[in-house]
Structure 1
Amino acid sequence: MVSKIILNHTVINVDQYKENWQDGLLNIKINFKVTSENYHDIATLLYEEIFDIEVPEKGITFRGAIQEYYTSMDNLYKEGEVGDYYVSLLGVKNEERRRQ
């Protein structure tokens, strides 16, 4: 079971992880919690759109882009709030690689 991924050096603890191949490119789908305390950092990170992605528990690294994402809340500035995030990341052609 995958418990975390790393997007551009930022560790994300995941609640759900799925992977599949789409047109020869790796696609990972994750669900994770975002608290009001880390909302700004995560929102800023996701605006980058293209990422160096690592899945350490599976030995996977690749360059990918957000294919789809949504949240249960779009404003987590109220202290103590927690939102559910879903993100789908698709490999970018010619940059996908699997760690040896």
Structure 2
Amino acid sequence: MINEVILDDFSLKVTSFEQGVSTSSSGTEAKTIRFDFEVRGGTEYHDVTVHLYKNTFDVKVPELDLSFRGTINNYSTSRTDFTNENSSSLFRLELIEIG
């Protein structure tokens, strides 16, 4: 089981993980990863979303010795109100390798 994905220097503790390859219309292949992680409201939500706004990252999955330059391909969350610090949400993030 994969436990951690690092985006630049920002570590995320993942609850599920999938790895794949996507083929563009030009025939080139790109690594993809999709993972879920929990985020609590308040400060943690702010820190995570500010980092995700960068959109493109140096991606590392230490348990797989995997690293690539990637960008957000898909992103979702189970909640939209993060004002309560005791609330939490499941985030799903899909990243795709870029040139």
TM-score in terms of structure 2 length: 0.90
How large is the Cα RMSD of the aligned pairs?
0.8
Partners of 2:63 and 2:2 in 1: how far apart?
6
Identity %: 28
Give every structure 1 segment of 4 or more consecutive aligned residues whose post-TM-superposition deviation is greater than 6 Å: none
The residue that corresponds to 1:57 in the other structure is: 63
Matched, 1:28 2:33: yes
The residue that corresponds to 1:83 in the other structure is: 89
Matched, 1:44 2:62: no
The residue that corresponds to 1:11 in the other structure is: 11
The residue that corresponds to 1:96 in the other structure is: none
TM-score in terms of structure 1 length: 0.90
**Secondary structure of residue in 1 paired with 2:98:** strand
**Secondary structure of residue in 1 paired with 2:97:** strand
Aligned length, in residue pairs: 93
Per-residue Cα deviation, 1:39-97 (whole angstroms, up to 9, x for no partner):
0000101110000000000001100000000101122121200001000000002xxxx
Per-residue Cα deviation, 1:10-47 (whole angstroms, up to 9, x for no partner):
11000000000101100000001001141000010111
The runs of 5 or more residues in structure 2 that have no matched partner are: 24-28
